[in-house]
Amino acid sequence: TQLLEQSPQFLSIQEGENLTVYCNSSSVFSSLQWYRQEPGEGPVLLVTVVTGGEVKKLKRLTFQFGDARKDSSLHITAAQPGDTGLYLCAGARAGNNRKLIWGLGTSLGVNP
């Protein structure tokens, strides 16, 4: 059983479209991170959210942490081919400060 469920698993869209991907759990997290991984490379941290209800923006990317700190979403506005990659969420569970829990990721393809 995945503690962090990411959806959708795969997404293929056209350049200029908007999209939202989700990271859900029944567990509470003290913090949650989003990473993007491009083919042949390691994941790269995009953002860390720590407060319930927190919204962070990174250019065209908007990250939200759920009020109960059990879920998060990533919204991309006007997607570009450069956004193509695997989006991973990873959470630090409240009360367990030793390990990050990783989702399986959403593989995004943006077609020009």
Partner 1 sequence: DSGVTQTPKHLITATGQRVTLRCSPRSGDLSVYWYQQSLDQGLQFLIQYYNGEERAKGNILERFSAQQFPDLHSELNLSSLELGDSALYFCASSSGTSPGNTIYFGEGSWLTVV
By CB under 8 A, tell whether 99 contacts partner 1. yes
Among 8, 14, 18, 44, the residue binding partner 1 under the rule CB under 8 A is: 44
* Inter-CA distances, 80 with 10, 54, 61, Å: 16, 25, 11
Please give the sequence-ordered ranges of beta strands (E in DSSP) within the chain, or none if there are none.
5-7, 10-14, 19-24, 29-37, 44-49, 55-58, 61-65, 71-76, 85-93, 100-102, 106-111
Task: Tell me the C-alpha distance between 106 and 96, whole Å.
Answer: 25
Count of residues touching partner 1 (by CB under 8 A): 21
In angstroms, what is the minimal distance from the CB of 17 to partner 1?
25
Report the 10 Å Cβ neighbour count for 81: 11
* Residue 37, both tokens: 């991984």
By CB under 8 A, tell whether 104 contacts partner 1. yes
By CB under 8 A, tell whether 41 contacts partner 1. yes
Q: Which stretch binds partner 1 (CB under 8 A): 11-19, 61-69, 75-83, 92-100?
A: 92-100
Among 21, 36, 43, 106, the residue binding partner 1 under the rule CB under 8 A is: 43
Q: Which residues bind to partner 1, rule: CB under 8 A?
A: 30-31, 33, 40-45, 48, 50, 88, 92, 97-100, 102-105
